[in-house]
Amino acid sequence: MDTLSYKTISANKATVTKEWVIVDATDQTLGRLGAKVAKLLRGKYKPNFTPHVDCGDNVIIINADKVKLTGNKWNDRVYLSYTGYPGGQREMTPARLIAKPNGEERLLKKVVKGMLPKNILGAKLLNNLYVYAGSEHKHAAQNPKMIDINSYK
């Protein structure tokens, strides 16, 4: 029997095919959108997924200001950060975060970052995410394709 026919093919940086996709965040729930975008960034929907390689797509999120949170999570959910100094723990709610400049981008990146691996690969994957508050983006030269995020599981 030829054992070479059963060789597992592992993707590497040279063999990966990365695409540009646009996701419309209008009336999408924040956490569910973040989970699906994290899977797109990681490349888990692709048949040649390799855990230690950046084989995901470049994702552009438009209309990030129209994302929704259920219940009273705009004011009740708390994101904690620490400055490094004694008594330096800070808390931020999504409503206060989205009111700041580039708040929509910071909120979505914070959510997606929490769903990516906590290592160097996760930091590199986050650089493949582009978030815009309106429907305009500056990546037309990459010919991104619009996808329906609800069709993914």
pLDDT for 6: 72
- CA-nearest of 96, 92, 66, 61 to 79 is 92
CA distances from 144 to 8, 103, 126 (A): 31, 24, 18
Residue 141 token pair: 């030269």
- Class for domain 20-68+94-151, per CATH? alpha beta
Rounded Cα distance between 100 and 141, Å, is 29
Q: Where are the domains of the chain?
A: 20-68+94-151
Query: pLDDT tens per residue, the chain (153 residues)?
Result: 566 667 778 888 888 999 999 999 999 999 999 999 999 999 999 988 999 999 999 999 999 999 999 999 999 999 999 999 999 999 999 999 999 999 999 999 999 999 999 999 999 999 999 999 999 999 999 999 999 999 887
**pTM to 2 decimals?**
0.89
**What distance in Å separates the CA atoms of residue 70 and residue 29, rounded to the nearest whole number?**
7
Q: What would the two tokens of residue 92 be?
A: 């931020």
Residue 2 and residue 127 in contact, taking contact as beta carbons nearer than 8 Å = no
